[in-house]
Structure 1
């Protein structure tokens, strides 16, 4: 017996897709290479736009607790003039976004999926798949076979030998951790552009979640620093808008852009990191993935054959503008702001100053980050 959709990856993207498809009248089955309970080991912190909260609420999977609202975003650049602040009140919203542990969100989604009777096969690594006229067969490493009308790949990046990809190595690492400040953050997130890369501080409980981009060599050096020396360098890069007292949980990972030109192939759809991996600047990765999830579910709603080529082509076309504009937006921010070019520094300062004076421009940027291309006229 064939399932409607086989979803590879039971992380937050795969679970959200399963719930969205279940509400569309399809029969999703989830497989995951990890053992049960592995979501508790996920140390990531997600920045969820207000639009993503609305989607998760529609799925019945918004966590009741554990998240911190972002009420304002303060944007500045080190070594240059110009700053701006985007506030939720100016946009008529309770918050611009929310900071939530990935593990908390995954547990909420998993509980909701279990309540809907959605099956999850753990310890199941899919090694290959073969598309046929009316179905696709996926073969797991342990010999298990799965037949479905559509295979949705929701985890794992793109292969190094694959074609049809946008690729760029930023030659940067993201150093992440939890930072305690002297004064309450009051719901303010900071995005500070420095010559070595963006430095973001997100309100997280009573502390800040740090995402600091730099070269691989600097990341390794700073990971090895004692806390006091690390905080001194962070303070120097950030400035005086907050005073830092403690840091914990430091680690780092490499940053690169990889995006599929076409997020579908024969009886396959790619979502989440399997479709695009973005730089963390502006926190757009998971929010873009969730918009992919919702559009795919809407496109396939009630379909007798969710793997039909015309349906998948329609989905790819519907997501084209949002996907590529978001890829371009994040990539441009990194390229324009991660340098110390004097001319660009002055132009950036002028742009931030103009943005601070022109409320309609701030509203446009805010809505673009919150809702994606839906914000455009």
Structure 2
């Protein structure tokens, strides 16, 4: 049985990015396996909020879907129980945009085109059921008896089982997803609105907004059963009075939890993306963190004859610890802090938003942290 240097499980946007980054760093014997029947066969309706830092990484791989990306030039942060607000602006950082909204399908198409040009080995219709480390290699067991061997296996899809999570919290919330038409052009302005029910994000995508609307699980069932006009009226009532949506489409939903593996490596195995950490969507940090993990993994394994050694994987885990821990804690703090109904919580949040707006250095640091992760720290 032929052995590859690295086998990646999952050929979606994260898996393709990881494979291209590894190849760029000298690993030519990289293989991807995916349970799907082929690229683009299954529709992926997600909208991805990518930071400017993620754009920089994808540009280095010649895989940035420039024609499909809507820039976020400003972000307005407000709360429903006060009038304080904070504005983040790309011009303060001398950047063309703070981030971009790209459909998952457009990003995967750009990455797939690059993967084909690079000659990546992708095996479709291969559902993986088990990994087994065996000394100098790892055996990847597929359904139907298909087996692969590699010096390193990287899981780029899946989720963390509750028994595997070192940190886990069920927010008892559901994310309601849709696309909405604004009454006036968005001009690249995104909104992060904190309400007692949960945060709402309006992300500019094309002429409209990709909406991520967080509600308590106890309220989600009634909203999911409501017609579009009722959804729209309820959503508009939770937004700032000067923001109005006129139509919506493409409703979907998913439950919200936080799960984290403290150590995203094991014997000849690495977990990336949702297989390593699942975060609340507030501030849009999850996929950007996954891309930074993938990039750092490729850097750590540059030209390594054996990419699966314990020393290399331990070094990778240490290099990613600060970014992973602080990003998970930051998103968790935002959800819990802005969701608190303790006495004086709302006035204190209002003071915090006003204070952040009055302190440009702190505001710029926060923006850099969201764009580049731990690299923004002094």
Secondary structure of residue in 1 paired with 2:221: helix
Q: Which residue of 2 aligns with 1:95?
A: 97
Counterpart Cα distance in 2 of 1:268 and 1:38: 28
Secondary structure of residue in 2 paired with 1:255: strand
Counterpart Cα distance in 2 of 1:67 and 1:240: 28
CA apart distance, 1:39: 6.0
CA apart distance, 1:38: 4.4
Secondary structure of residue in 2 paired with 1:41: coil
C-alpha spacing 1:172/1:269, structure 2 compared with 1 (3 Å): same
CA apart distance, 1:40: 4.8
Secondary structure of residue in 1 paired with 2:68: coil
C-alpha spacing 1:39/1:316, structure 2 compared with 1 (3 Å): farther
Q: Which residue of 1 aligns with 2:46?
A: 44
- Please say which of residues 228-237 and 298-307 is displaced more in the overlay: 228-237
After TM superposition, the runs of 4+ consecutive aligned structure 1 residues lying more than 6 A away are: none
User: 1:39–1:106: 8 Å Cα contact kept in structure 2?
Assistant: no
CA apart distance, 1:251: 1.3
Secondary structure of residue in 2 paired with 1:168: strand
C-alpha spacing 1:373/1:39, structure 2 compared with 1 (3 Å): farther
Counterpart Cα distance in 2 of 1:331 and 1:273: 16
Counterpart Cα distance in 2 of 1:85 and 1:319: 29
CA apart distance, 1:2: 1.0
CA apart distance, 1:28: 1.0
Q: Which residue of 2 aligns with 1:318?
A: 319
Q: Which residue of 2 aligns with 1:60?
A: 62
- Please say which of residues 222-231 and 304-313 is displaced more in the overlay: 222-231
Counterpart Cα distance in 2 of 1:28 and 1:286: 22
CA apart distance, 1:356: 0.6
CA apart distance, 1:64: 2.9
How high is the TM-score relative to the length of structure 1? 0.98
Q: Which residue of 1 aligns with 2:340?
A: 339
For the pair 1:149 / 2:151, whether they are aligned, the reply is: yes
Q: Which residue of 2 aligns with 1:252?
A: 253
User: 1:199–1:213: 8 Å Cα contact kept in structure 2?
Assistant: yes
User: 2:101–2:204: 8 Å Cα contact kept in structure 1?
Assistant: yes
Counterpart Cα distance in 1 of 2:292 and 2:250: 30
Q: Which residue of 2 aligns with 1:107?
A: 109
Q: Which residue of 2 aligns with 1:116?
A: 118
- The alignment yields a C-alpha RMSD, in angstroms, of 1.0
Q: Which residue of 2 aligns with 1:187?
A: 188
Counterpart Cα distance in 2 of 1:119 and 1:8: 12
Counterpart Cα distance in 2 of 1:243 and 1:173: 22
For the pair 1:128 / 2:130, whether they are aligned, the reply is: yes
Counterpart Cα distance in 2 of 1:18 and 1:331: 30
User: 2:133–2:268: 8 Å Cα contact kept in structure 1?
Assistant: yes
Correspondence 1:74-85 to 2 at 5 A:
74-85=76-87
Counterpart Cα distance in 2 of 1:239 and 1:347: 19
CA apart distance, 1:180: 0.5
Counterpart Cα distance in 1 of 2:294 and 2:268: 16
1:137-193 deviation digits (Å, cap 9, x = unpaired): 11101211101000000100012332x521100000000100101100010000000
Counterpart Cα distance in 2 of 1:217 and 1:177: 20
User: 1:197–1:339: 8 Å Cα contact kept in structure 2?
Assistant: no
Q: Which runs of 5+ in 1 are unaligned?
A: none
How high is the TM-score relative to the length of structure 2? 0.98
1:270-314 deviation digits (Å, cap 9, x = unpaired): 101110010000000010000001100000010010000000000
1:21-75 deviation digits (Å, cap 9, x = unpaired): 1111112100011111346511110000000000000011101311100000000
Counterpart Cα distance in 2 of 1:161 and 1:342: 36
